[in-house]
């Protein structure tokens, strides 16, 4: 079992990088059914949709408290196993068990059954994801290798999403279309993959047993001081703003994409194919963006990725005017957007890992967990706001999701204004959110040269502390 971090400049072995990144696979496999399949299944089994909505909202609100708590606790964890591994190991069985109960419910589950199952999954996600992201940030201090780590992690996430989407398509060829059966196969895959990837990472991937830096006793006063230091980290706030714009845009896109395909393109049966095309393209081009980032810098690469994605997204409303070619052109635009969609996430996350080094110098503590808990809260909050904006706006345009697409612009169907409003909210407004963050990202001050100097200072400080074997 490897518990010591590699020396600065020593790259991770491929097997270590593989098993660390592979943990994101089962997380992604779970994530897709939570959004697409679970609400319809429990609704069919008799659970109130409005009650489910309240429970899901309250469960997300609880993350505001649990995310910082887990982040701070993992920052202060000491032991032979490391700082982050114990939390991933702790969360893994809870995630597997909660997935079983949520994905394979009894014939007539009540509201309490749904509540306990969904709370178990959300708590397990928090226990795993915050230390997991922090672990990745600490695996290497190298500017380029951090991009490599986050890139492969996101590729495994996309692969998990593809598998989760493909299972229903594959089962349909064998006549299995019942949602309960589909989710049971998804659950089996998750329960088999979680122990494999977590145990592989546990034995092979390094983790610091403790921090060489001072760790203050956590009081309310110290907690407030810690949050103030986070807010004073200028580069972190810049990239957080950029990431928030991307999350707002991506979440609005995701919330309305099915309605766009069904009511604007009039090609509901091609929806899964369109999503798979985009994800496959994202997986392929993540490596391309990694090379671009190494050549010109992460922040400039992120700006180019946003512009590329936004340019093609702005073409989507034009499909409204050319219905005879809309499907073919939509699939092409999905591929072109997909070429940059992966970069929007992995580059921002890699940059966040870099700016935490600044906090280590200022605070005298290693607090990746606190930073990534704040990152997670903003991500979840932005996604919730995006869903509210998207669904409220299309309703104000008069869009009716239950209307037959063939009755468009008739008294019984959606009006042209409603359909065009849907197209605008699906593509134009999300693009504006992304583009509005460009000034913050373009002026991002932490270049590779500066980050190398910062890491050099930190490594020299660590060596001095290690030789003294006393905290500062």
| Residues 189-215 pLDDT 10s | 999 999 999 999 999 999 876 555 555
Indicate the number of domains in the chain: 2
Do both 298 and 208 map to the same domain? Answer: no
Residue 376 has pLDDT above 80, yes or no: yes
pLDDT value of position 214: 55
Burial of 385 (0-12, 13-18, 19+ CB in 10 A): middle
Do both 194 and 290 map to the same domain? Answer: no
Do both 141 and 162 map to the same domain? Answer: yes
Residue 466 has pLDDT above 70, yes or no: no
Q: Tell me the pLDDT tens digit for each residue of 259-316.
A: 899 889 988 888 888 888 998 999 999 999 999 999 999 999 999 999 999 999 999 9
Q: Tell me the pLDDT tens digit for each residue of 317-337.
A: 999 889 889 999 999 999 999
CA–CA separation, 310 and 306 (whole Å): 6
Residue 265 covered by a domain: yes
pLDDT value of position 10: 67
CA–CA separation, 450 and 108 (whole Å): 59
Residue 449 covered by a domain: yes
Do both 157 and 15 map to the same domain? Answer: yes
pLDDT value of position 172: 83
pLDDT value of position 217: 57
Residue 401 has pLDDT above 90, yes or no: no
- Of 212, 236, 258, which closes a domain? 212
Do both 172 and 256 map to the same domain? Answer: no
Answer with the residue of higher pLDDT: 231 or 352.
352
CA–CA separation, 226 and 359 (whole Å): 10
Say which CATH number the domain at 449 has. 1.20.1250.20
Q: Are 285 and 338 in contact (CB under 8 A)?
A: yes
pLDDT value of position 438: 95
What CA–CA distances, in Å, run from 78 to 105, 132, 165, 209? 38, 16, 39, 6
Residue 49 has pLDDT above 50, yes or no: yes
Do both 393 and 247 map to the same domain? Answer: yes
Do both 157 and 275 map to the same domain? Answer: no
- Of 190, 212, 234, which closes a domain? 212
Do both 425 and 278 map to the same domain? Answer: yes
Do both 118 and 248 map to the same domain? Answer: no
Residue 47 covered by a domain: yes
Full residue range of the structural domain in which residue 137 is found: 1-212
- Of 187, 212, 237, which closes a domain? 212
CA–CA separation, 215 and 210 (whole Å): 10
Instruction: Categorize the per-residue pLDDT at 157 as very low, low, confident or very high, splitting at 50, 70 and 90.
Output: very high
pLDDT value of position 268: 82
Q: At what angle do helices 111-139 and 14-22 cross, to 10 degrees?
A: 160
Do both 177 and 299 map to the same domain? Answer: no
**Which of 319, 350, 304 lies closest to 137 in space, CA to CA?**
350
Q: Tell me the pLDDT tens digit for each residue of 106-119.
A: 988 999 999 999 99
Residues in the chain, overall count: 472
pLDDT value of position 216: 58
pLDDT value of position 4: 40
**Which of 167, 137, 123, 153 lies closest to 75 in space, CA to CA?**
137
Residue 50 has pLDDT above 90, yes or no: no
Residue 444 covered by a domain: yes
Average pLDDT over residues 26-36: 88
Q: Against a cut of 0.75, is the pTM above it? A: yes
Residue 171 covered by a domain: yes
Residue 220 covered by a domain: no
Q: Range with the lowest mean pLDDT among 93-107, 182-196, 212-226?
A: 212-226
% of the chain at pLDDT higher than 90: 45
Concatenate the DSSP letters of all residues of 186-218 into one string: HHHHHHHHHHHHHHHHHHHS---SS-SS-----
CA–CA separation, 130 and 122 (whole Å): 12
Do both 66 and 114 map to the same domain? Answer: yes
Q: Tell me the pLDDT tens digit for each residue of 429-462.
A: 999 999 999 999 988 888 888 888 888 888 887 7
Do both 233 and 207 map to the same domain? Answer: no
pLDDT value of position 343: 94
Residue 217 covered by a domain: no
Q: Are 127 and 87 in contact (CB under 8 A)?
A: yes
Residue 376 covered by a domain: yes
pLDDT value of position 471: 45
Mean residue pLDDT across the chain = 87
């Amino acid at each position: 079992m490897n518990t010591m971090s590699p020396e600065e400049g020593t790259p991770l072995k491929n097997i270590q990088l593989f098993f660390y990144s592979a943990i994101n696979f089962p997380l992604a496999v779970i994530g897709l059914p939570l959004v697409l399949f679970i609400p319809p299944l429990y609704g069919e089994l008799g659970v109130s949709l409005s009650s489910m909505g309240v429970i899901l909202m309250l469960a997300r609100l609880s993350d505001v408290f649990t995310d910082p708590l887990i982040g701070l606790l993992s920052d202060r964890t000491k032991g032979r196993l490391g700082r982050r591994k114990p939390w991933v190991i702790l969360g893994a069985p809870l995630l597997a068990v909660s997935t079983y109960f949520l994905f394979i419910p009894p014939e007539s589950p009540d509201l309490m059954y749904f509540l306990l199952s969904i709370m178990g999954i959300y708590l397990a996600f928090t226990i795993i994801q915050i230390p997991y992201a922090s672990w990745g940030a600490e695996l290497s201090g190298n500017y380029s290798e951090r991009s490599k780590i986050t890139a492969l992690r996101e590729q495994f996430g996309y692969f998990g999403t593809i598998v989760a989407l493909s299972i229903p398509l594959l089962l349909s060829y064998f006549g299995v279309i019942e949602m309960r059966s589909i989710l049971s196969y998804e659950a089996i895959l998750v329960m088999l993959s979680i122990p494999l990837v977590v145990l592989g990472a546990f034995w092979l991937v390094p983790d610091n047993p403790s921090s060489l830096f001072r760790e203050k006793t956590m009081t309310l006063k110290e907690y407030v001081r810690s949050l103030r230091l986070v807010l004073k980290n200028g580069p972190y706030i810049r990239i957080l703003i950029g990431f928030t714009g991307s999350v707002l845009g991506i979440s609005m896109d995701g919330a309305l994409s099915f309605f766009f395909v069904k009511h604007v393109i009039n090609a509901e049966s091609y929806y899964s194919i369109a999503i798979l095309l985009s994800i496959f393209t994202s997986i392929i081009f993540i490596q391309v963006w990694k090379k671009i980032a190494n050549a010109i810098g992460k922040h400039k690469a992120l700006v180019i990725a946003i512009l590329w994605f936004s340019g093609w997204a702005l073409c989507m409303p034009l499909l409204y005017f050319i219905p005879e070619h809309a499907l073919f052109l939509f699939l092409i635009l999905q591929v072109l957007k997909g070429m940059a969609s992966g970069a929007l996430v992995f580059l921002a996350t890699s940059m966040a890992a870099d700016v935490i080094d600044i906090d280590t110098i200022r605070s005298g503590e290693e607090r990746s967990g606190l930073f990534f808990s704040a990152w997670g809260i903003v991500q979840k909050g932005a996604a919730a706001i995006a869903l509210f904006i998207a669904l409220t706006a299309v309703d104000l345009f008069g869009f009716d999701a239950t209307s037959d697409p063939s009755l468009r612009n008739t008294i019984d169907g959606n009006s042209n204004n409603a359909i065009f409003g849907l197209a605008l909210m699906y593509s134009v407004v999300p693009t504006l959110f992304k583009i509005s963050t460009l000034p913050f990202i373009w002026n991002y001050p932490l270049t590779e040269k500066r980050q190398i100097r910062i890491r050099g200072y930190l490594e020299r400080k660590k060596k001095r502390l290690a030789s003294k074997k006393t905290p500062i």
